[in-house]
């Protein structure tokens, strides 16, 4: 079986972060979201992977993943460019698939427990396609499964009145027949070729479409709130590991992962679950609270940080509390306590949101 990771999309809800890179490279617990996807495929025995690139800095994706060797897989890059829908992206993979079964995995999705079990189930089945479903609170935001007497009878994209609470996750198993269906699709009102419609055609056309309901959590990380929740979910399973220096052992409470060449100074407090990358410095009297991810080469001189993601190369030097925040790479947040009147100065990208 082969694997396909979709790495496109505009990421409009994640601006300004996506002005400078694709959303799938935004880190959760100090690892790009799409790396979790790649590692899940590898753990499921899928080692031949295509990454479908969009038009948001595709070179950064190729630079990070290379030929896949350092991740234990072989990577082929396919350029989609402008987003024209998931089904359009899948249709570009026909030559790569070479008539084999394949699994499509959206690069901004996270699934607890991974897909190993489902991969084996699909390989051993006679399904033409198989989908994974998750019960959600607001199914009208997703493609939704429709059932009759426990039998899958159709799929509806973002229905006003959902026929069930079960949403399609961004993980699809296909056999090559899907390419015949995609060739016949017409763009939706969004101007895209919809994968929901393609699978619906298989269902109503009498093809054998299986489904499984995932029992653990599933996250579609399309918004800042989703990414922070994913960060919390991943950190909830964090294993404590201290590879750097902690000057006072009382400065670490709970499950904390500290990277090599990082330092937590005396009188600082890092309360887990939290992760700090390599070469970072947490100065005296700084507080790092639960569900915080701090990347590599970060310096926190002053302040309190909680439930936030601080990416590589940042400087935090404020007499403030930072919470529920996504702070992009190489950002400097500073304040001068001697300046009167006191105030805050921000340099922010387009579509930023500030809550004080």
Give the separation between CA 301 and CA 314, rounded to whole angstroms. 11
Question: Is residue 234 one of the residues assigned to a domain?
Answer: no
Kindly give the pairing relationship between strand 256-258 and strand 109-111: unpaired
| Alpha carbon distance, N-terminus to C-terminus of the chain | 49
* Residue 274 and residue 201 in one domain: no
Count of domains forming the chain: 2
Span 118-147, pLDDT tens digits: 999 999 999 999 999 998 888 888 889 888
Question: Is residue 342 one of the residues assigned to a domain?
Answer: no
DSSP state of 291: S
Handedness of CA 122, 124, 129, 135 (dihedral sign): negative
* Residue 189 and residue 147 in one domain: yes
Kindly give the pairing relationship between strand 166-174 and strand 129-135: antiparallel
CA angle 347, 349, 355 (to 5 degrees): 75
Please give the average pLDDT of every successive group of 10 residues along the chain, which has 356 residues: 88 74 90 95 96 88 94 94 88 93 93 92 94 90 86 86 90 95 88 88 90 87 87 94 94 96 96 96 95 96 92 89 88 69 44 45
Give the separation between CA 128 and CA 141, rounded to whole angstroms. 26
Question: Residue 312 corresponds to which tokens in the numbers above?
Answer: 């590589």
Question: Alpha carbon of 250 to those of 10, 253, 269, 298, 301: distances in Å?
Answer: 44, 7, 8, 22, 19
Span 191-208, pLDDT tens digits: 788 898 999 999 888 899
pLDDT at 342: 47
* Residue 176 and residue 66 in one domain: yes
Question: Is residue 345 one of the residues assigned to a domain?
Answer: no
Largest pairwise CA distance in the chain: 73
Give the separation between CA 331 and CA 306, rounded to whole angstroms. 17
Give all strands (DSSP E) within 20-101, no chain letters: 27-28, 31-32, 48-54, 74-81
- Give the torsion through C-alpha atoms of 162, 163, 165, 171, to 10 deg: -90
Give the separation between CA 64 and CA 312, rounded to whole angstroms. 14
* Residue 323 and residue 247 in one domain: yes
Domain CATH code at residue 183: 3.90.550.10
pTM, rounded to two decimals = 0.89
* Residue 66 and residue 152 in one domain: yes
- If one counts every other C-beta atom within 10 angstroms of the C-beta of residue 285, the result is 14
* Residue 123 and residue 70 in one domain: yes
List the domain range (segments joined by +) for residue 74.
2-220
Q: Cis bond leading into 273, ω under 30°?
A: yes
Kindly give the pairing relationship between strand 292-294 and strand 245-246: unpaired
* Residue 10 and residue 87 in one domain: yes
């Amino acid at each position: 079986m082969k694997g396909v990771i979709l790495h496109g999309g505009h990421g409009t809800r994640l601006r300004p972060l996506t002005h400078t890179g694709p959303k799938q490279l935004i880190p959760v617990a100090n690892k790009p979201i799409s790396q979790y996807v790649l590692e899940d495929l590898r753990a499921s025995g899928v080692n031949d992977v295509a990454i479908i690139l969009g038009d948001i800095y595709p070179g950064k994706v190729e630079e990070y993943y290379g030929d896949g060797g350092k991740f234990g897989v072989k990577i082929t890059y396919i350029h989609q460019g402008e987003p024209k829908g998931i089904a359009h992206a899948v249709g570009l993979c026909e030559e790569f698939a070479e008539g084999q079964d394949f699994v499509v995995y959206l690069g901004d999705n996270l699934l607890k427990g991974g897909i190993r079990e489902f991969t084996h189930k699909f390989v051993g089945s006679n399904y033409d396609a198989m989908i994974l479903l998750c019960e959600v609170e607001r199914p009208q935001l997703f493609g939704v499964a429709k059932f009759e007497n426990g039998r899958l009878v159709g799929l509806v994209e973002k229905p006003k009145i959902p026929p069930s609470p079960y949403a399609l996750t961004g993980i699809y198993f296909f056999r090559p027949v899907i390419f015949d269906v995609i060739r016949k699709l017409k763009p939706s009102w969004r101007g895209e070729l919809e994968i929901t419609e393609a699978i619906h055609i298989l269902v109503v056309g009498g093809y054998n479409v299986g489904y499984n309901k995932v029992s653990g959590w599933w996250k579609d990380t399309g918004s800042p709130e989703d990414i922070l929740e994913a960060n919390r979910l991943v950190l909830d399973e964090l294993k404590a590991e201290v590879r750097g220096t902690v000057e006072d052992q009382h400065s670490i409470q709970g499950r904390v992962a500290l990277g090599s060449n990082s330092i937590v100074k005396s009188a600082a407090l890092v309360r887990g679950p939290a992760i700090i990358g390599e070469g970072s410095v947490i100065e005296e009297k700084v507080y790092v609270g639960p569900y915080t991810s701090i990347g590599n080469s970060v310096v926190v001189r002053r302040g309190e940080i909680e439930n936030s993601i601080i990416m590589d190369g940042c400087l935090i030097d404020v007499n403030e509390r930072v919470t529920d925040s996504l702070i992009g790479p190489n950002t400097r947040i500073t304040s001068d306590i001697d300046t009167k009147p006191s105030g805050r100065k921000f340099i922010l990208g387009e579509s930023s949101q500030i809550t004080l």
